[in-house]
Amino acid sequence: MALLAILQYPDERLHKVAEPVKQVDARIKQLAADMAETMYAARGIGLAATQVDVHERVVVIDLSEERDSLMVLVNPVITAKDGETTYEEGCLSVPGIYDKVTRAERITAEYLDLDGNSHTIEADGLLAICIQHEIDHLNGKVFVEYLSNLKQNRIRSKIKKRERENM
């Protein structure tokens, strides 16, 4: 396994739409393992392949405290949404930035597992939010794009300032 570099907002590559995985093979299994290791090392709860500059539809999620409940979703698609909830989100591609985003409260999604088997999941709460957040990444959207232009500009300024300080 290997730690992968996580793209940082506003990197344009975060806006590239991921392609469907044609075949779940050893390469995709290795990608998922590397993504999981990267997510755990960064202390995240979810990571989309787009965030590590691989533009294929693969997501890893683990909401457990013990970090022992890894979910891998290949080619995930939300098939139903219900309700509305607002949650303070963060993102490994936008470190240190948190803000409230309104999303569907409950979702149904279809995906493939690492054996290529099809599954349907019904999710609510944090899992529903996380799946929506990661699928947004696959579609080239970062959570800060739900915020006002003023907040987006402040975030960009904060990130540029942080980059200057780290030079």
The enclosing domain of 118 has a CATH number of: 3.90.45.10
Q: Could you tell me if residue 3 is inside a domain?
A: no
Domain extent at residue 77:
12-166
Q: Could you tell me if residue 74 is inside a domain?
A: yes
Q: Could you tell me if residue 95 is inside a domain?
A: yes
pLDDT score for 152: 93
Q: Could you tell me if residue 65 is inside a domain?
A: yes
Q: How many domains does the chain have?
A: 1
Q: Could you tell me if residue 4 is inside a domain?
A: no
Q: Could you tell me if residue 103 is inside a domain?
A: yes
pLDDT score for 1: 73
pLDDT score for 163: 84
DSSP run (H or E) holding 110: strand 106-112
Which residues sit in the known binding site for Fe cation?
91, 133, 137
Q: Could you tell me if residue 1 is inside a domain?
A: no
Tens-of-pLDDT digits for all 167 residues of the chain? 799 999 999 999 999 999 999 999 999 999 999 999 999 999 999 999 999 999 999 999 999 999 999 999 999 999 999 999 999 999 999 999 999 999 999 999 999 999 999 999 999 999 999 999 999 999 999 999 999 999 999 998 998 898 888 87
Task: Round to whole Å and give the CA distance between 163 and 141.
Answer: 22
Q: Could you tell me if residue 5 is inside a domain?
A: no
Q: Tell me the pTM.
A: 0.96
pLDDT score for 95: 92
pLDDT score for 160: 87
Return the DSSP state at 6.
P
> Which of the following is catalytic: 56, 65, 134, 145?
134
Is 122 noted as a catalytic residue in this protein? no
Helices (H), 18-74: 26-41
* Helix, strand or coil, per DSSP, at residue 17: coil
